[in-house]
Amino acid sequence: MSTRTDAPTRREQILREAARLFAERGFHGVGVDEIGAAVGISGPGLYRHFAGKDAMLAELLVGISGRLYDGGRKRVAEAEGGPEAVLGSLIDGHIDFALDDRALITLHDRELDRLRDSDRKLVRQLQRQYVELWVVVVRELYPGSEAEVRAAVHAVFGLLNSTPHLGSYGAGLPGRTATEALLRRLAHGAFAALAG
């Protein structure tokens, strides 16, 4: 969900490669030497940026939850038009995340339980706040029961967050633009089912 166009910092490069490697081989299947090699520094050189692998994992998972929530709040505040436009903006933002940060989705699914309790609680708190943004907007459009709307929001997240299981572009997954359009139609269709 980053909108920055400047080159990533060394710290950001380390996090990106750590996320990729952790998603591919699991947290315990990757050593600091491998992460360092992926960004062109020695494994011990990583300790200038992070206390260790646990700190990288925490920053990745807490960080993405915070970025989703902050990005969602910004989209709600800046969307022009009624609740349809706000929901469309939230969906578009989450699709960008689902397509651009697929490794983080895998990492969250597999490794959340490895976080310290305090970090895991922070991730869950940020996720609940993000869900609430969506629930408020969806209920404006589809004034059903709160429980039903909340279930629909979680179902749409499940749909959008399935991207790591879709394969690579060209090998089972259509190009980025076509995948984005498909996910958008599916998400809007799922919410429209609340009206039925």
Per residue in 60-100, pLDDT (tens digit) is: 999 999 999 999 999 999 999 999 999 999 999 999 999 99
Find how far residue 147's CA is from the centre of its chain. Answer: 23
At 29, the amino acid letter reads: G
- Residue 168 pairs in a beta bridge with 171, 172
What does the buried/exposed string (b/e) look like for 94-112 if buried means 16 or more CB atoms within 10 Å of the residue's CB? bbebbbebbbbbbbbeebe
At residue 21, does pLDDT exceed 90?
A: yes
Share the mean pLDDT of the chain.
91
152, 94 Cβ separation under 8 angstroms: no
User: Quick one: pLDDT at residue 1?
Assistant: 42
Mean pLDDT of 51-66: 95
What does the buried/exposed string (b/e) look like for 116-136 if buried means 16 or more CB atoms within 10 Å of the residue's CB? eeebbebbeebbebbbebbbe
The predicted model scores a pTM of 0.89
177, 150 Cβ separation under 8 angstroms: no
Q: How far apart are alpha carbons 129 and 135 in whole angstroms? A: 10
